Homo-oligomer: A and B are copies of this chain.
Amino acid sequence: MNTRNRILDAAAQLLAEEGWSAASVSEVAKRAGVTRGAVQHHFTDREGLFTVAIEYVLENRVAEFHDQAKGFPAGPGRTLAVVRTVVEQHQGASFAATLQLCVAAHGEPALRPRVAAMEAEMGAKYYWALIELLRLDGSDPKVRTTVQAFLDSARGLGLAGFIGDDSRRRERVTRRWAEMIDELSA
């Protein structure tokens, strides 16, 4: 991993674990094993560093999605495999990091427009990756709103899993989503 990605990785992990108020540039440098100057060489300010770190997390999510999809069945079971991957990608450290940035952005006027723009761009990328893997017509209004409802639901499941073990309920909702999405092409 190159220095820039090592910094981004450390920043996302730190944000996930400690939240925005504890996430300083010096702590990122320490975790990445580089100097503070090295971080500042790559990123002009703290807001930019963490926004790019989450963009990096979300880019990785899309890449990982395409990667895992190589092992998905072509016929029955494909939708469930896709849906489950999306739901699980909204759990754990990467969800925690994006959530912490979102909460920080709410309270910091300097951060908010940057995070909103990055989220909108990455949200669209993720939507189209999902549409492609589900082999649906993403420009059909019914498909679009259903898949968006599913993505909102995945975020909601992320929140629910954030403070307690919600895995059994999550599995039931995941299976129901696979059915609802399959009904779109029935």
Q: Which residues of A contact B (CB under 8 A)?
A: 18-19, 21, 96, 99-100, 102-103, 105-107, 112, 115-116, 119-120, 141-142, 144-146, 148-160, 162-164, 169, 172-173, 175-177, 180
Contacts and interface: CB of A to CB of B under 8 A. Distances in A.
Copies in the complex: 2
Nearest to A123: B160
Given A152-B157, A173-B149, A176-B149, A103 B100 contact: yes
Nearest to A165: B116
B155 A19 contact: no
Given A103-B103, A107-B18, A156-B156, A145 B164 contact: no
B156 A173 contact: no
A119 B175 CA distance: 23
A79 to B, nearest CB: 14
A177 B149 CA distance: 8
11 contacts: A21-B21, A99-B159, A102-B163, A105-B163, A112-B164, A119-B163, A142-B176, A144-B172, A152-B156, A153-B153, A153-B156
A153 B149 contact: yes
A3 B137 CA distance: 56
B19 A103 contact: yes
Contacts of A102: 159, 162-163
Please name the 10 residue pairs, one residue from A and one from B, whose CB atoms are nearest each other, closest first: A152-B156, A155-B156, A145-B176, A116-B164, A156-B156, A153-B153, A152-B153, A105-B163, A149-B173, A116-B163
